[in-house]
Amino acid sequence: MTEVVSLLHVSLLVADLARSRNFYEGVLGLRPSSTRPAMRFDGVWYDVGAGQIHLINLPSPDPANGRPDHGGRDRHTALGVTGLDALKARLDVAGVPYSLSQSGRAALFVRDPDGNALELLEVRQAARLKMP
């Protein structure tokens, strides 16, 4: 019997790799991974816990306009974070808009420069790899 046992990576299409790297590295604090091979198109990989985010510099077929204001009502990638208040402060300084989770959880939703929605959910230090 086949069983899906883990999420390995998420790929996100980005139009301007330098702009996206500024967001993912400068605002979110991710660091590029050196473990992935070069592809036939430009991009960058980030290690996030046991998985990875792969930014792919290719045109997106998705419209940037007309998406829900709240990323929780759109397809999104959920990431566990520690120090959610510090992250809010970094987003505020960078002028990046976000919305708080409507469920009351310690989480916020933000869109990257290409409109990809991210849920950033506070996790306890000991439970980083498990959903709270």
- Domain CATH number, residue 82: 3.10.180.10
User: Contact at 8 Å (CB) between 116 and 63?
Assistant: no
Q: Which residue bears the tokens 């409109």? A: 115
Does a structural domain hold residue 47?
A: yes
User: What is the per-residue pLDDT across 68-119, written as a single tens digit (0 to 9) for each?
Assistant: 888 888 889 999 999 999 999 999 999 999 999 988 899 999 999 999 999 9
Does pLDDT of 40 surpass 90? Answer: no
What mean pLDDT comes out for the span 1-27?
A: 92
Element (H or E) spanning 48, and its range?
Answer: strand 43-48
User: Contact at 8 Å (CB) between 88 and 108?
Assistant: yes
Does a structural domain hold residue 23?
A: yes
Q: Which residue bears the tokens 């204001």? A: 69
The structural domain count of the chain equals 1
Does a structural domain hold residue 72?
A: yes
d(CA 117, CA 111): 4
Nearest-5° Cα angle at 20, 82 to 120: 25
Does pLDDT of 58 surpass 50? Answer: yes
Determine the pLDDT at residue 128: 46
What's the domain range around 103? Answer: 9-58+68-127
Does pLDDT of 21 surpass 80? Answer: yes
47 DSSP β-pair partners: 52
Task: Output the DSSP codes for 3-46.
Answer: ------EEEEE-S-HHHHHIIIIIIS---B-SSSPP-SS-EEEE
Does a structural domain hold residue 2?
A: no
Does pLDDT of 127 surpass 70? Answer: no
Does a structural domain hold residue 132?
A: no
pTM above threshold 0.95? no
